[in-house]
Amino acid sequence: MSDIYSLHGTTVAEIFSSGLDNLDEIEAVAVSVVWKDGQVTAGASNTTNERLAFMLLALEHHIKSGLFSGSQHDQP
């Protein structure tokens, strides 16, 4: 299964800056944004339904495995 890392504690600016710095290495992006007014916007970049499903299943697997609860999966 793919490596999944928690972005907890990372600012929005740090996430987007890292994405811009590593643009050549990124194949696809899926994102969900919770706005201050409570609305949620979600979407994915130009990827296939199969790749998006793989991304979501990898995340679900790590959540169900409890791997987000340990600090070993938190990025600095």
- The pTM score is 0.58
37-42: long-range contacts at Cβ-Cβ below 8 A with a sequence spacing of 24 or more? none
The two structure tokens encoding residue 4: 């999944």
Q: Where are the domains of the chain?
A: 12-70
- Note the pLDDT of residue 75: 41
User: How much of the chain, in percent, has pLDDT values that exceed 90?
Assistant: 18
Where is 30: in which H helix or E strand? Answer: strand 30-34
- For residues 55 and 46, give the distance between their C-alpha atoms in angstroms, rounded to a whole number: 13
